[in-house]
Amino acid sequence: AQYRQMATLLRSGTIPHLFDLSDVFDAKQETVYIDYVHVGPEGNRLIALRMRDVLKHAGLLSAPAAKSP
């Protein structure tokens, strides 16, 4: 019951800077978990990409500074 309440709260978008990433693996056919709760390198990569996109969309992540030559 608490999981459903938290999922509803996350999806409501009413808490600033709290983002729902629960669907990050929905389109993935391969297994990304290395055990019942931990993800491997591919899972970490997908999470990082999603976090980057969400934070950029929310205006919380700026473009990286240009490297000096």
pLDDT tens for residues 23-68? 999 998 889 999 999 999 999 999 999 999 999 998 888 877 667 6
pLDDT for residue 4: 86
- Rounded to 10 degrees, the C-alpha dihedral 60/26/29/33 comes to 70
d(CA 67, CA 42): 27
